[in-house]
Structures are given as structure tokens and as C-alpha cells.
Amino acid sequence: MALLSLRDVRIHDGVGRRDLVHGVSFALTPGKAVGIVGESGSGKTLTCQAVLGILPEHFAVSGGQIEIEGRDVSTLTQKEWTAVRGTTIGAVFQDPASYLNPSLKVGTQVAEVVRVKKGLGRRDARQRAIELLGAVRLRDPERVYRQYPHELSGGMLQRVLIAAAIAADPKVLIADEATTALDVTVQAEILDLLADLRERTGLALVVVSHDLAVVAQLCDEVLVLRAGETVEQGPVERILYEPRHEYTKLLIAEHEQYGLDRFTEEKELDHVA
Amino acid sequence: MIRRVLRLTSGRIAIGILGFIAFLAVFGPILAPQDPLEGTTDILANPSSAHLLGTDYLGRDVLSRLLDGSRVSVLGAVQVALIALVVGVVPGILSVYFGRAFEWVTLRLADTLVALPFLVFAVAVTALLGNGIPQAMFVVGIMVSPLFYRVARAATLSVARSQYVEAAIVAGASVGWVVRKHVWVKVLPPIAVALANTTGVGFVIVSSLTFLGIGVQPPAPTWGGVLASELGYLSFQPWAPLAPTALIMATVWACNLLADAIRDVTGQAGRALLNTRKVADGSAVTA
Amino acid sequence: MSLEVSNLDVHYGRTHALRGASLSVAAGETVGLIGETGSGKSTLARAVVGLVRPSAGRVTVAGEDVTGYRGRRWRALRRRGLVQYVFQDPLRSLDPDLTVEESIVEPLLIQGRPRRAAAERARELAARVHLDEALLSRLPGELSGGQRQRVTVARALITEPRVVILDEPVSALDAATRVRALEFFKQLRASGTALLFISHDLGSVAGIADRIAVLYQGEIVETGPARTIVNAAEHPYTRLLVGSAPTLRSAAADRAEREELRALLQTIGGPA
């Protein structure tokens, strides 16, 4: 059974009186990773928010169906939503610092999630939080536990948020531009961590990015979104080697002409020769 | 900029009221129907055809006193505001550019002025410079100047560190250029607001100094002075303070209105920015 | 050399932000300066235009040794408009109260050119950077990110500089705009302008830079032709950078290799 499935999901903007997302579909099974590529305003973030039940005011799912573990989310009550978030679906976003309280130690904030979601006592929650900080490969988790958000770098904060997101052992993790604000080497560390979590725990991923390469690195299936429209969808190999839509071709050409791919291709050819 | 202010309804109202006040300041003393200083036996009289606003505790015609006092009051308040402006704003802007020593000295001076007991300073200055209206206004202007200093300095600081100023510097701009082209427009709106407030406070201070015998000498009338004397007879004439109060309020309100209008027309860019931010947020609101 | 930096040291208080950095850009050459947060790349750029005072070393701009310049002499040199700096964030580097045209002509007005001639030049520049002329009377807040970026580029080019420093000029742009911007910079290079292209992302520089310099913890650890840096880097940090940049066909280093490089960098530690 699919952990998460979207069928022709449409999202309507009640103020602008128009659909901003016109039909997004995909299904996610355990251990699988789906990527959504698109520029700002393409509807990728709205899609994630719809899946998490946190669409901003005036926005609503106006068509199609979202199912989490076979349950239609439109039937969920507020209470049931709260139960689903964290335990079935976790999420991390672009600006990690804004999701943490600057005046509390990061460890206690992770421990709080554990206490609420897992019903653990204070001491057990602390123990579990330290384990989680270790699981996201923060060096010296005991020390990080006692630190405040301003003492940590952007990459470390994103790890802390990933730790909080997986605290209640969700089956799906949504990463919405989670590495966009980070340095390239740090971005690679976070992407490696996600790949690692997926392999070790069977965590299914929804990776959202403006960069096709980021998505290609992690995912099996890719959706290319433009102005709310899915312009192309398919297995990552197919998208990369036989793009059909002009926009996808542009995204690929950008990397081939101006990115590292320009040189790495040569390198591969050298190997063959 | 004045033309842009006049395009706003609030700007037109403000300039209308201030124009009327200015008219009073120029022609008030001529328009006064009776001698503002001459007492009659008819004390604390109600409004009548002879005394449109009644009389005060010495039987002097209140309308005449208000009209006659308008020049001194308005000039005094304006003088206070202008002195504060020059003494406060100029060093406030320059403190950012003229190096550490100047910055340190002006900051300490501003602190000192705030800490100085107002009345002691006023008495000391009048002892030094003689007791007159210009001296009194000078004292008050100096006393409120730290406000202008701080407002101007804060606004300048935020602009001076901005990237567009750095871009101008890389293009070879001098300090003068940066202040004229970039800083001044940003400093003006908060200064206009401070100026409006200070003008209002000025009326009150001028009259309280009068009470101490500094500046305007009784029996010469001022708006604040009339208000102060009427307040003493509230139990006989509860309505009497209304007239001077209305004048002072109208002036202060018009100043504030004008300040807001200036802020609105110069802050246009800021608002346009805000609007685009709102639109952008619509598609990218965080959880 | 249009720009030459040798053994440059910059201190911020006790922090040693830049250690003996050397770099040169010839006319018609594009050099990519790669460094991550805190590596000192902005410090280097700011030292070149005199916004930061170096504590040691030399800076030569368009053949003129500016190392000891202060106040008036710097201003005189800058006024000639030989070196320009395009800041990273176009919104913050444009005065919100000035129209697009007023911003673009500012360097010319600073030079004391007549307003009318400057306005004429602004229209030429707008056309050159593909900015709609109707936008000239708008305020920056009313423009899109890509348009604002073109405004800052137009402002920098209006004095026909010989050296242009571009700080992360494409990282905030989306794919289509990014390709157009890079094409534009290539044309600019072809016209003989020296470009110093600063970025945290090797990928965004690889396609346009002739040579690449890699800054790591305030030190330039490697300089070389773009191809060599990407395919045969020597320093482990450069190799990690190459291996970390997301590529489509994942021919770059794999996870295990990155892990190794990270461990290696840990043991080397930063420069003392």
C-alpha cells in the first residue's frame, strides 16, 4: 500500500480566485524517493503544505485526492491531523533557524517533540533526543543538546530539525528546499544524510528543490512543475536522458553548458578512451 | 515634495490649518478687538457680544489675549523646533561620518543634556544671556535637541551601512553626495514626526517658563499662558480652557498630520516594497 | 593585468579573515573565486574596491597600485569608474527611494556628467542588459529579482569599467534567467572586461570561468584552469567541493569518497 498518494491534486487560491496547482499526482511506497522540481511560484511548496495539512489561509485543495496510508486526508479532523504529522509524515524547510526558539536549548526542543509524540518521560526523552542528534550525525550530540540555536551553523541547525522531524519515526519525510540556503559542501552532507536515513530505516522521501541536480541525486521519480502544471513526470533516468518537455530540457542544458556537468562528461569520455 | 504632499487629502488639511495659524501669527495682534492687557471690572465673565470668549480673572478679554499672543506663541514654538533641528539633526547625521572622536563627543553631550535638570539649565542660561524670549527659546531648543540628534543618527546609521551607499562609494561618491542623495530622504520622515511633536511640546514649555518668569513676561499673553491662567478658575468657568486648548491642539494635530503626509510621500518606496513582499508571501507562507 | 592582488592579509579585530591571498585577472579573462560562508571571499572583493583596509599585501587595479590609498585618492580613482562591484543582493544594493534610472545614472552623475547625457546612457545600458525601458521610471520594489539584478549590472557597466566584481550574480536566479545572465557575462568578457566572479557554488562558476581560485578558511588553497580544478584538483577541499556540487549524471564523487574527504579535512584542520 502506498504511504502517500496524490491523485490529480488541485489547489485553489480563494483571494486570487484561481487554481495555483493544476493536478499533481504521485505515489510513495516505503523507501522510495520522489522529487519535485520547479522555480519559486511553481506550486511545489503549496503541494507540500497540502500534504501536511498546513495550507495557508484562503488556500484549499479544490480537486483530486490526497491519501496518507490509505486514508483520505479530507476526512481528517484537526486532532487526527496532529497525530498524522510527525508520526507518519515529517517535514523540514528552507530556513532552519526560523523553526527553532532562539531562547531554548536545541536539545530540549527536540526532547519536547519526543515527549509529546512518543509520550516519554523527561529523562527518557532526553536520552532519545541525544540519540536522534547522533543519528543525524552531529558530532558530540551531548554537547549540541545543551547549545542554543545561535551557537550552531546553518547546516547543524538543519540537522537538528531533521532530528526533530524523525523523532516520532515517521514513514515519510518531506524536504522542501531544505538545503537551498546552505553551502555546497554542507548541502551534500545533508543530502547524504537523507540518503543514509532512507537506506537504513526505509524512510520515504519527498525532495523539493529548484535544482534538478539535487533532486536527481536522491530520487527515483521526478515531477517537473511549472506554474502549477506538471509538465513532465517519470523515472529519473528517463527524465535526465530523454527529456520531453522544453522546460526540462532547459534545466538540463543549464547544467550541461554552465555547470560541472560540462567537465564531468569529458571525464567519463576520458575513462572510456 | 510640497506638491506631492498637497496631493494627499491629509496633506491639504494640514497645510490649510497651519496656514490659518500662520495668518493668526502675522495678523493676530492687529485683529485683537480690545487691548489684551487692560483689565476691566467685569472679571471671569461668560461669553457675550462684548467679550466673545469671556474675560479672565483680571477682566481682560480672552479673545484679544489669544489673538495677541498668537505671534509670540507660534514664533516661540517654531523657534524651539528649528533650534532643536539645527542643533540636533546636523551633528546627528555627521556623527556617523566624522570619525570616532566627533561621535564620542556628541554622544556624551547628548547624554549630558538629557541628564541636565531642565529648570536649572534654563535659569543658568537666562542668568548668562539675559532674560528674553529668544534666550528662552534657545534654552528649550537645546534641551530638546538630543531627541533630534538620536533620531537623525539612528536613521543615518541604518542607511550608512546599506549596500546602496556602499555601491555609491565604490562609484566614487563623497560623504556629501551620500548624505544628499541617500541619507537625507531617509532621515526626513522621522525628523518631520519629531518636529511636529516638538512644536506641540514647545507651546507648553514656553508657557511653563512664563510661569517661572523666564522668556515671555507677564502680563504679555501667550496661548499656553492663557490656558494656565484659565485652568486656575476651572470651578468658576469649566468651559474656559477650551479655546486655548483648541488652538494648541489644532496646531499640534496639523503638524502631526503634515509629518505623516511627508512620511507617506517620501516613504513611497518602502510601501511599494511592502506590497510586493505581501504578494510573495502569499505563495510561500511558512508553516 | 587588470586586477592583481598579492599576499593580501585582512584582519577584523583579532580574526584573520584573509591570509596571504594572491590572485590576478587579465583583461578579457573571467576568474571564479570559490569559497563558502566565512571563507573570506567577500572580504577579498571588498578589499579590492577599498571597502576594507588590508593589513598587508598589495592591490593593483588597472595598473595603479592602490594599496596605500585613502579617502581622496581612492575617491578620485573610483570616480574614473575603472572598477565596479555588483553586490550579491540586488534589492539591498538599490536605494528603495530612487527610480531605476536614478540608480543606473548615479555613477555618471558622481563623475559630474550632465544629467541629460547620463539619462541617454542609462537607456542604452537598459537595452544592453535587456531591461524594458518602461521599467526605468519604476522603483526597485516594483521589479522582479531578475530585473533588479539587471539594474545593478547596468549601473556597474555604465562607466565602462575594466574590472567588474560580481558577487554571487546568478545564485538567486531561476534557471531560465540564469542562463541569460551567464550568456550576458560571456559577451561582456568577449568585449575585453576582466570579471571576478565570486560564488560559493563551483557549479555556477564552472561554465563561465577561465580560471578558478578556491578559498578555504581565508587562504587560497588552489588556483588553476577551470577544467583542471574540476577534473584534477589537488587539495582535498577542492575535491570535496567538486564532489559536493550536485550534478545531473552523478559522475562526481560518491558518498563514500565525500566521507573520506571530510575526514581528511578534519585531520588537516584549518591553517594555523
Taking the domains of chain A in order of start, what are their residue ranges? 4-88+171-272, 98-169
Q: pLDDT value at position B269? A: 44
User: Which amino acid does the sequence have at C161?
Assistant: P
Q: How far is C94 from chain B (nearest CA, A)?
A: 5
Q: What is the mean pLDDT of residues B203-228?
A: 75
Q: What is the pLDDT of residues A133-169, one digit of tens each?
A: 998 989 899 999 999 999 998 889 999 999 999 998 8
CATH fold group of domain B2-274:
MetI-like fold (1.10.3720)
By C-alpha distance, the chain C residue nearest B267 is C97
Q: pLDDT value at position B104? A: 92
Rounded Cα–Cα distance for residues A48 and A28 (Å): 13
Q: What is the pLDDT of residues A61-90, one digit of tens each?
A: 998 999 999 889 888 888 999 888 888 999
Q: Does C133 fall in a domain?
A: yes
CATH of the domain at C45: 3.40.50.300
CB spacing of A93 vs B287 below 8 angstroms:
yes
Q: pLDDT value at position A57? A: 87
Nearest to B170 among C76, C78, C111 (CB): C78
Q: Does C45 fall in a domain?
A: yes
Q: How far is A80 from chain C (nearest CA, A)?
A: 38
Tell whether the model's pLDDT for residue B279 goes beyond 60: no
Q: pLDDT value at position C165? A: 94
C-alpha dist (Å) from residue C259 to A192, A205, C64, C253: 9, 22, 45, 10
CB spacing of A260 vs C204 below 8 angstroms:
no
Nearest to C110 among B163, B172, B185 (CB): B172
Q: What is the mean pLDDT of residues B76-90?
A: 86
B neighbour chains, 3+ CB pairs within 8 Å: A, C
A256 touches chain C (CB under 8 A): yes
Instruction: Give percent of chain A above pLDDT 90.
Output: 53
Q: pLDDT value at position B272? A: 43
Query: What mean pLDDT value characterizes chain C?
Result: 88
Residues of C in contact with A216 (CB under 8 A): 246, 248, 250
Q: Which domain holds residue C129?
A: 100-156
A140 touches chain C (CB under 8 A): no
Tell whether the model's pLDDT for residue A272 goes beyond 60: no
In DSSP notation, B110-168 reads: HHHHHHS-HHHHHHHHHHHH-SSHHHHHHHHHHHHHHHHHHHHHHHHHHHHTSHHHHHH
Q: pLDDT value at position C211? A: 94
Tell whether the model's pLDDT for residue B278 goes beyond 50: no
ipTM over 0.90: no
Pick out chain C residues at pLDDT < 70.
250-253, 269-272
Q: What is the pLDDT of residues C206-222, one digit of tens each?
A: 888 999 999 998 999 99
Asked if C168 and C39 sit in the same domain, the reply is: yes
Kindly indicate the confidence band of residue B139, based on its pLDDT and cuts at 50, 70 and 90: confident
Contact of A19 with A25, CB cutoff 8 Å? no
Contact of B253 with B75, CB cutoff 8 Å? no
By C-alpha distance, the chain A residue nearest B285 is A56
Q: What is the mean pLDDT of residues B2-24?
A: 84
CB spacing of B286 vs A16 below 8 angstroms:
no
Which are the contacts of B227, defined by CB distance < 8 A and separation ≥ 6? B207, B241, B244, B245, B248
Tell whether the model's pLDDT for residue B2 goes beyond 70: no
Asked if C55 and C109 sit in the same domain, the reply is: no
CB spacing of C95 vs B182 below 8 angstroms:
yes
* Sign of the CA dihedral running A77, A78, A80, A81: positive
Q: pLDDT value at position B25? A: 85
Residues of A in contact with B283 (CB under 8 A): 20, 40-41, 45-46
Contact of B64 with B53, CB cutoff 8 Å? no
Instruction: Give percent of chain A above pLDDT 70.
Output: 96
Which CATH number is A4-88+171-272 given? 3.40.50.300
Q: Does C150 fall in a domain?
A: yes
CB spacing of B284 vs A45 below 8 angstroms:
yes
Q: Does C242 fall in a domain?
A: no
CB spacing of A52 vs B286 below 8 angstroms:
no
Q: pLDDT value at position A67? A: 93
SS (H, E, C) chain A: CCCEEEEEEEEEECCCCEEEEEEEEEEECCCCEEEEECCCCCCHHHHHHHHHCCCCCCEEEEEEEEEECCEEHHHCCHHHHHHHHHHCEEEECCCHHHHCCCCCCHHHHHHHHHHHHHCCCHHHHHHHHHHHHHHCCCCCHHHHHCCCHHHCCHHHHHHHHHHHHCCCCCCEEEEECCCCCCCHHHHHHHHHHHHHHHHHHCCEEEEEECCHHHHHHHCCEEEEEECCEEEEEEEHHHHHHCCCCHHHHHHHHHHHHHCCHHHHHHHHHHHHC
Q: Does C5 fall in a domain?
A: yes
A52-88 as b/e: b if 16+ CB within 10 A: bbebbeebebeebebbbeeeebeebeeeeeeebbbeb
Asked if C170 and C51 sit in the same domain, the reply is: yes
Distance of CA B169 to the CA centre of its chain: 35
Q: What is the pLDDT of residues B156-198, one digit of tens each?
A: 888 888 899 999 999 988 888 998 888 888 888 888 878 877 7
Point out the least confidently predicted range of A8-12, A31-35, A102-106, B24-28: B24-28
Q: pLDDT value at position B119? A: 75
Total structural domains within chain C = 2
Kindly indicate the confidence band of residue A270, based on its pLDDT and cuts at 50, 70 and 90: low
Asked if C149 and C166 sit in the same domain, the reply is: no
| Residues 228-287 of chain B whose Cβ lies under 8 A from any Cβ of chain A | 282-287
Nearest to A40 among B284, B285, B286 (CB): B284
Q: Does C262 fall in a domain?
A: no
